Structure 1
Amino acid sequence: MASKKSADVEIQVRESDASTKELCDQTNSLEEDWDAPHNKENPRNWSALKKGCHIVPVSLLCLSVTAGSSMITPGVFAIAYKFHVSHTAALLPLSLFVLGLAIGPVLAAPISETRGRAIVYKVSIPLYMLFILGSGFSKSFGGLLVCRILAAMCGAPCLAVGAGTVADLFEPRKMAAPGALVVMAPFLGPCLGPVIGGFSATFTEYRWTQWSTIFLALAAYILVLPTQETHRKVLLKRKALRMGLPPPEPELAPREAIKLLLTITLFRPIRMLMSEPIVLLYSVYNAFTFSVLFAFFEAYPFVFMGEYGFNLWQYGLTFLGIGGGVLLGAIGAIVVDLLVYRRIVRENGDRITNRGPEQRLYIGMIGDLCLPVG
């Protein structure tokens, strides 16, 4: 009797092992089939039109958020008068918004890696618009500041996740043009913000700079609503669930998920800043260029309104020059990619060469010379 039970247990163990092996084989096959050229569920195999319908709305979202940072600047004088604060204090709605843009991606980036890109776009932007609405209705200066920084924290995730969407849709050697569009939008937004805000503050009141921000974000959000999920891990997990297979990556326990979040979100960036000179220098230079850009919002009124007698809407138009420079930078990045990087790829096939990645830096070197000239 004992021998028979032992044999039954051994058979069950073998069947379990065989079943587990079969499930693992099916999961591996799922990942291999995902990368097949004929698989239309893979975003990298979508048509150019469908990819464009996902990249353009994301770029417009990025533009609307960064435009919201500077759109309030033509209303600074009205804010100082209404809330009885100094001109320097009236600039805090702009400064705190920029601070919020730095804080927001800390939470958004890990969420996009586990829950997908689409949920980040479709949840964060309504919150962003609600806080902008609150800043427009604020009855106190403190309420205005709180709403502005919270709005920025809710709007910033799309800035961090946009590059991930490009990576989901395009192979690295084909990222130049869509990547330039997504990178250009956050820089173009602050240039367009004062133009729109200048007309709003001139012919209405400063609150209309906030209403205009909402209208711009709402238009971009409507375009994002029909978009689909693009993140590979999330799509593979959904397909595995439909097929009754275990997910390619098992779910982490809450404690492990929090540990991973803290490790990747907080400690790894700090460690890279301290241990990787190229990361540190690139971050410092990016911070410098942003500081120069946002310093213009304080300097331009003194120059163009104080010295040249421009009114509010004319002062806003002066930022179109920076917008033209942003467009030239995006075009330059695409041209350098076509003339330099693509040529190296053609010569070496699809292999990553030691000289390949560095060719991406040429447009940055050109920009380094143009910045002090500007």
Structure 2
Amino acid sequence: MASAMDNEKGTSGASTNTPEDSFLVTFALPTDDENPKDWPLLKKWTVTGVLSATGFNRIMVSTVMAPALSTIGRELDMNSTETVMSMSVYLLATAFGPLLIGPLSEVYGRKPVLHATNVWFLVWNIACGFTHNKALLIAARLLAGFGASAVYALAGGVLGDVWRPEQRGRSLGLYVLIPLLGAAIGPIIGGFITEGTTWRWMFWSTSLLQGVMVILSFTLFHETHGPTILLQRAKHLQKATGNTRYFTEVERLDSAHSASWVIMRSLSRPVRLLLFHPIIQVQACVSAFNYGLLYLVLSTFSGLWINNYHESISISGIHYVSMAAGEIIGAEIGGPLMDVVYRKMKSRAHGATIPEFRVPIMFIGAILTPAGLFMYGWAAQEHAPWIVVDLAVGLLSFGMQIAGQGLQAYVIDTYPDHTSSAFAASQFLRSLTAFGFPLFAPTMYSALGYGWGNSTLAFLAIGIGIPAPVLIWVYGPKLRAKAQSSY
């Protein structure tokens, strides 16, 4: 950190155009040890890894109930809709949680928000295992989901804080690797636990893991939010020098307003982005559709193998590996590929960069997602060998992952100062579809079968997924230029 005397002389990266600007605290140029983007790689990967591992458990808990839904429904006297809701309500909470959590992380920093939500999630996930009626289970799942929702808001913010644009694809690909495993491992673990013991151990065992995550986050996670770090630096300089004139750019922006106005402005930011920023609207709609598809398949996949292929609960859970494989391969291919495309387009633009350099990779996902849906639907309809169905689902998840990574990187590049709020805005629609799609899935498959049911979804994927990247590529620069400030 720059010394107090260095800052007095204006060598901390502050402008000296005016006497006041000589006390503006910024990160030093060209590098600053406290700037998260200048951290050593080990420290960057440590922070990314802790957040990724935290996401693994929270996402695993969202799917761990899938193979046990019928068992839980019988024990707690729940009808089919209530049974599915006991799983989906967790996702409903993740729609509203980031609207609060994302802005708070931009006011108070990522670290305290992560710690608080880790503990909150742990308490309510334990409570799920002790419930003895459907109302309490649904309520506990809702509250646990609220705590779990922090990872959806924090992920984009932390990755944007730490990694530079040239490293965006690789960091996204490696970050999502562990959480993606959680989405598929959850049903596998849930299936074996349900057959071997009581379903309550699904929650108790994941709570033990969450306890480890709490310890890791308290010991290894560092604050990554640049404005928060600079605010701490300014306070340190004020104390060390006795000069109270040191300030940060955020303090200058907020100086004309009361603390309550600043908080309300921050809390309203995700809603304002969703209502008035077309970039967020397009990204949210595409992400929401793909996320809804993911949880529709997650909630019904086990039933396909149990009812149509007459497999046991535990064996049916193993098929979720195909989904995980597709997502993991998509992440590990899509991330580096995104960086390669970004560097080539940057070179062609003679060093200039724009967020639209993330768009080309989205077209791959836009084509593969409906292809996977068609293949999965008709393979399941015709009772094709299990390997065909699993390969189809793997192709589907591969396509959705490729498209999703491009969209996430585009948002991070477009809203570098308020990435968490931007992710919270898009997560709102994503979680609503993840909650709602599984509710109509049984009725859809009963009426249309797997073939025409998934074909209908594939036609929708074509109508939504292909025009979206075209729209962003052609009109993205104009939409960004016309967009109101995210402040």
Query: So what's the TM-score if we normalise by structure 1?
Result: 0.86
- Please tell me the residue identity of whatever aligns with 1:115: Y
Alignment of 1:1-374 (within 5 A): 22=19, 24-28=20-24, 30-31=25-26, 34-225=27-218, 226-244=220-238, 245=244, 246-248=246-248, 249-250=250-251, 252-272=257-277, 276=278, 278-348=279-349, 350-352=351-353, 356-374=354-372
Which ranges in structure 2 are unaligned for 5 or more consecutive residues?
Answer: 1-17, 239-243, 373-487
- 1:169 & 1:265 partners in 2: Cα distance? 22
SS in 2 for 1:229: coil
Deviates further, 260-269 or 78-87: 260-269
Contact 1:117–1:165 (Cα < 8 Å) also in 2: yes
Which ranges in structure 1 are unaligned for 5 or more consecutive residues?
Answer: 1-20
- Please tell me the residue identity of whatever aligns with 1:360: R
- Give the CA deviation at 1:215: 2.7
- Give the CA deviation at 1:360: 1.2
Contact 1:195–1:317 (Cα < 8 Å) also in 2: yes
Deviates further, 255-264 or 92-101: 255-264
Query: So what's the TM-score if we normalise by structure 2?
Result: 0.67
> What are the superposed Cα offsets for residues 347-372 of structure 1, whole Å, 9 maximum, x if unpaired?
545422xxx53331222211121112
Contact 2:166–2:339 (Cα < 8 Å) also in 1: no
- Please tell me the residue identity of whatever aligns with 1:255: S
- Please tell me the residue identity of whatever aligns with 1:232: G
- Give the CA deviation at 1:300: 1.8
- 1:358 & 1:261 partners in 2: Cα distance? 27
Contact 2:51–2:151 (Cα < 8 Å) also in 1: yes
- Report the identity percentage: 24
Contact 2:172–2:335 (Cα < 8 Å) also in 1: no
- 1:182 & 1:269 partners in 2: Cα distance? 25
- Give the CA deviation at 1:263: 3.5
Structure with bigger gyration radius:
1
- 1:171 & 1:328 partners in 2: Cα distance? 23
Deviates further, 162-171 or 248-257: 248-257
- 1:168 & 1:99 partners in 2: Cα distance? 27
Contact 2:118–2:148 (Cα < 8 Å) also in 1: yes
Deviates further, 244-253 or 127-136: 244-253
Contact 2:99–2:267 (Cα < 8 Å) also in 1: no
- 2:107 & 2:344 partners in 1: Cα distance? 36
- Give the CA deviation at 1:185: 4.8
Aligned to 2:454: none
- 1:62 & 1:26 partners in 2: Cα distance? 41
- Give the CA deviation at 1:343: 2.0
SS in 1 for 2:223: coil
- Give the CA deviation at 1:142: 0.3
Deviates further, 295-304 or 66-75: 295-304
Contact 1:75–1:209 (Cα < 8 Å) also in 2: no
> Does the C-alpha gap of structure 1 residues 358 and 25 become closer, same or farther in structure 2, counting only changes over 3 Å?
closer
SS in 2 for 1:104: helix
Aligned to 2:393: none
Q: How many residues align?
A: 343
- 1:264 & 1:298 partners in 2: Cα distance? 32
- 1:54 & 1:193 partners in 2: Cα distance? 24
Aligned to 1:14: none
- Please tell me the residue identity of whatever aligns with 2:83: A
Contact 2:97–2:146 (Cα < 8 Å) also in 1: yes
> What are the superposed Cα offsets for residues 48-92 of structure 1, whole Å, 9 maximum, x if unpaired?
111111101101111211111111122212211111122332111
- Give the CA deviation at 1:315: 1.1
- Give the CA deviation at 1:184: 4.9
SS in 2 for 1:39: coil
Deviates further, 73-82 or 249-258: 249-258
- Give the CA deviation at 1:187: 4.2
Contact 1:112–1:120 (Cα < 8 Å) also in 2: yes
List structure 1 runs of 4+ shifted beyond 6 angstroms: none
- 1:284 & 1:187 partners in 2: Cα distance? 21
- 1:255 & 1:43 partners in 2: Cα distance? 29
- Give the CA deviation at 1:167: 1.2
> Does the C-alpha gap of structure 1 residues 243 and 150 become closer, same or farther in structure 2, counting only changes over 3 Å?
same
Q: CA RMSD in A?
A: 2.0
- Give the CA deviation at 1:116: 0.4
Contact 1:304–1:310 (Cα < 8 Å) also in 2: yes
- Please tell me the residue identity of whatever aligns with 1:256: W
- 2:130 & 2:216 partners in 1: Cα distance? 27
- Please tell me the residue identity of whatever aligns with 1:247: F
SS in 2 for 1:310: coil
- Give the CA deviation at 1:262: 4.6
- Give the CA deviation at 1:46: 1.1
- Give the CA deviation at 1:345: 2.6
> What are the superposed Cα offsets for residues 296-346 of structure 1, whole Å, 9 maximum, x if unpaired?
233223320112222121111111101011112112222322432112234
SS in 1 for 2:359: helix
> What are the superposed Cα offsets for residues 15-36 of structure 1, whole Å, 9 maximum, x if unpaired?
xxxxxx65x24423x31xx142
- 1:217 & 1:68 partners in 2: Cα distance? 10
